[in-house]
Structure 1
Amino acid sequence: MRLLVTGHEGYVGAVLVPMLREAGHEVTGLDLGWFGDCGFPPRPHERAAAEVPALRVDIRDVTYEHCAGFDAVLHLAALSNDPLGNLNPSVTYDINYHAAVRLARAAKTAGVPRFLFSSTCAMYGAGSDDWIDERVSFAPVTPYGESKVLAERRIASLADADFSPVFLRHTTAYGVSPMLRGDLLINNLVAFAVTTGHVVLQGDADSWRPLVHVADIARSYLAVLSTGRDVWHGRAYHVGRSDENHRIADLVHLVCDEVPGAKIEFDDGPHQDSRSYRVDCARISREIPLFQPRWTVAEGVKELAAAYQAEGLRLADFEDRYLRIRRIRRLVAGGVLDLRLRPAGEMP
């Protein structure tokens, strides 16, 4: 297929694009390259997935002409976590909600039959110890989570005989990517364990988190593309494994067990993160059997620790290069982006 992948230079996109190409798909990317010099290992002046043609277009400015001629749009581009979403909530809604809906409409107008939307289980927010399937009511607690809820609802209303959206609600991602994110739970815990010898246990240690490796997220897109539209037309799927729901305390102990010498520190201070949910991933296993996740958190922790140690990672470099919120603030402070996160200068 001819595929347009938005956010192809992001954390998931940098893993997904090589998989798509290996499977024989023709890929065009769409990305402004905000994190182009934040590769892992560091690769100055080299963008991830640079081997594919790319449209340097703000996702808020995409038109149907950009979508013409493609068999599917894979929409990954977004302000992709809660700290970024909280930086400027109105911009979060503009990018994650309004721009996503405009892109879906543009794709439909251009005659693109498949629209794969990167969503999130963060839309469940403050859940409970009960299992959550795709039918459960949403309870987002952040602009990021709410923006994804709104986008899903509006895009779903566009579905018809010629346009099939699908919503891939991935659980909390982790794992090595050429465009590493340091603000993800496991990636961050392992980085602190490797660089400082300790892991800080914050907030409610009994909170639940469902987790999925970034490579398994990428495999979910391949599986959907290889499955008939009639199966997943207008459907939502939890992307992950039901047996990979973990309590925060267990994850911290797991990291310390896998990183020699790492110790737990306890922080009893006030914390605002009220998220707790565990999700049932049975639907995707049942309806998209080509999706076969391969990773466990324990394996991912070992992978991350080995990669960090091989790179000689230092905490200061990790936080400066791989925490998305710091990168965005630096681009704004340097006049590269304005307060609406619009280009205001030349990207470094």
Structure 2
Amino acid sequence: MNSMRVLVTGHQGYLGTVMVPLLQECGHTVVGLDSGLFADCVLGDALVDPVTLATDLRDVVAADLAGFDAVIHLAALSNDPLGTLAPEITHDINHHASVRLARAAKDAGVGRFLYASTCSVYGAAGQDAVTEDAVLRPLTPYAVSKVRVEDDVAAMADDSFAPVFLRNATAFGYSPRLRADIVVNDLTASAFLTGRIVVKSDGTPWRPLVHARDIAHAFAAALEAPVDRIRNRALNIGTEANNVTVRDIAETVADVTGAEVVVTGEYGADPRSYRVDFSAAREVLPAFVPEWSVRAGAEELFAAYARHGLTADALAQRFTRLARVTELQRTGAIDENLRRTRVGVGSA
């Protein structure tokens, strides 16, 4: 595969920080685009980012994308509590700005558009493992925005523009720009800091999980796959071995860490429950072979938390998306529309 020039949006986020080095190792030239809201949310050593366009996603134009062979679009308001707090902004960024980005990419002559979608588009899917053809039942503003982008960008596909929609399972695992508000990372952090793992639902919902590094490998495989194989495809990204219940996750983390599991059930049954079939990705992207189990991810996280000295304050403020955004607003680093202000220049 020839080297490509690739723009990665959200490269200073949880997934982008893992993905960019892998793409570079594959021989691609990577440029990042990020407004930097989470750039300093680092657990570990200082990072060296690629050449960066410090641009709000909502302001990208075709001229910014000239000369790229592909766009990998990761940037989003990326968790459900944040989306519920600001649903209109969620749709503006996650839906409208994403569609404008795809249109700008097509206008600029970019051939491939790799979109980070989510398995949460399946919502309350019952007990059967869902394929990409399943009825979509998104239950949150975040998931709804992903469905709308898939629909709108699919309509742009033609012989010169090949979008592919990678529906990632729920991510887990260590990234130097940590997110702790996703289930495996969160429960492992609780085990590390308190010796207890508190499950506030009844523990029965199913979740499909995939390691951040496996997601990066999936995007690399899609980037290099024959274009006619991936054009306008939706692909579930993960492995059936990691279709697990929340209670299963808690017990695995407890087994790795020695922590106590406490199921309070105070939130009742979570309506978001779905198991996922990943066979299409195995067929379409044979180079993508997921390697990480939930147990291995918990072991990795627990060791990283110890090695880098994770604290309760850092967990609550720097590595939780909603708290981080709230603090940036409180200090004036971003405004009510989550845009950078002159007061808040830098990573804040």
TM class, shorter-length? over 0.9
Shift of 1:292: 1.1
State the one-letter code of the partner of 1:302: E
Distance 2:133 2:292 in 1: 26
Work out the percentage of aligned pairs sharing the same amino acid: 46
Residue of structure 2 in register with 1:2 after alignment: 5
Residue of structure 1 in register with 2:156 after alignment: 158
Alignment of 1:172-183 (within 5 A): 172-183=170-181
Residue of structure 1 in register with 2:59 after alignment: 61
Residue of structure 2 in register with 1:238 after alignment: 236
Residue of structure 1 in register with 2:68 after alignment: 70
Shift of 1:266: 2.3
Instruction: Provide, for residues 309-335 of structure 1, a one-character-per-residue CA deviation record: whole Å limited to 9, x for no partner.
Output: 222322222112200111100001111
Greater displacement, 284-293 / 303-312 = 303-312
Residue of structure 2 in register with 1:131 after alignment: 129
Residue of structure 2 in register with 1:191 after alignment: 189
Greater displacement, 200-209 / 144-153 = 200-209
Say if 1:237 and 1:284, in contact at 8 Å, map to a contact too.
yes
TM-score of the superposed pair, with normalisation by structure 2: 0.96
Change (3 A) 1:61 1:271: farther
SS of the residue corresponding to residue 93 of structure 1 reads helix
State the one-letter code of the partner of 1:15: V
Residue of structure 2 in register with 1:40 after alignment: 43
Residue of structure 2 in register with 1:294 after alignment: 291
SS of the residue corresponding to residue 65 of structure 1 reads helix
Residue of structure 1 in register with 2:32 after alignment: 29
Distance 2:65 2:198 in 1: 45
Shift of 1:127: 1.6
Shift of 1:202: 1.6
Instruction: Provide, for residues 20-72 of structure 1, a one-character-per-residue CA deviation record: whole Å limited to 9, x for no partner.
Output: 1111100110001111221112x5xx5x442x111011000100001110000
SS of the residue corresponding to residue 244 of structure 2 reads strand
Distance 2:75 2:37 in 1: 11
Q: Which of residues 328, 332, 335 is equivalent to 2:329? A: 332
Alignment of 1:138-153 (within 5 A): 138-153=136-151
TM-score of the superposed pair, with normalisation by structure 1: 0.96
State the one-letter code of the partner of 1:101: V
SS of the residue corresponding to residue 288 of structure 2 reads coil
State the one-letter code of the partner of 1:37: D
Shift of 1:241: 0.4
Which residues of structure 1 form unaligned runs of 5+?
Answer: none
Say if 1:196 and 1:315, in contact at 8 Å, map to a contact too.
no
Say if 2:197 and 2:254, in contact at 8 Å, map to a contact too.
yes
Residue of structure 1 in register with 2:19 after alignment: 16
State the one-letter code of the partner of 2:32: G
SS of the residue corresponding to residue 247 of structure 2 reads helix
Alignment of 1:112-131 (within 5 A): 112-131=110-129
Residue of structure 2 in register with 1:104 after alignment: 102
Which residues of structure 2 form unaligned runs of 5+?
Answer: none
Change (3 A) 1:271 1:330: farther
Distance 2:58 2:269 in 1: 30
Instruction: Provide, for residues 79-131 of structure 1, a one-character-per-residue CA deviation record: whole Å limited to 9, x for no partner.
Output: 01101111200000000000000000000000001000000011111221111
SS of the residue corresponding to residue 14 of structure 2 reads coil
Q: Residue 284 in 1 paired to residue 284 in 2?
A: no
Alignment of 1:173-322 (within 5 A): 173-260=171-258, 262-271=259-268, 273-322=270-319
Shift of 1:167: 0.2
Shift of 1:228: 0.6
Say if 1:10 and 1:35, in contact at 8 Å, map to a contact too.
yes
Say if 1:202 and 1:267, in contact at 8 Å, map to a contact too.
yes
Shift of 1:271: 5.0
Distance 1:4 1:276 in 2: 34
Say if 1:9 and 1:49, in contact at 8 Å, map to a contact too.
no
Distance 1:331 1:206 in 2: 35
Say if 1:14 and 1:49, in contact at 8 Å, map to a contact too.
no
SS of the residue corresponding to residue 35 of structure 1 reads coil
Residue of structure 2 in register with 1:341 after alignment: 338
State the one-letter code of the partner of 2:133: R
SS of the residue corresponding to residue 5 of structure 1 reads strand
How much is the aligned-residue C-alpha RMSD, in angstroms?
1.2
Say if 2:15 and 2:212, in contact at 8 Å, map to a contact too.
yes
State the one-letter code of the partner of 1:180: L
Instruction: Provide, for residues 109-167 of structure 1, a one-character-per-residue CA deviation record: whole Å limited to 9, x for no partner.
Output: 00001000000011111221111000001101100000000011000000001100000
Shift of 1:343: 1.3
Instruction: Provide, for residues 207-256 of structure 1, a one-character-per-residue CA deviation record: whole Å limited to 9, x for no partner.
Output: 10000000000000110112110001000100100121001111111111
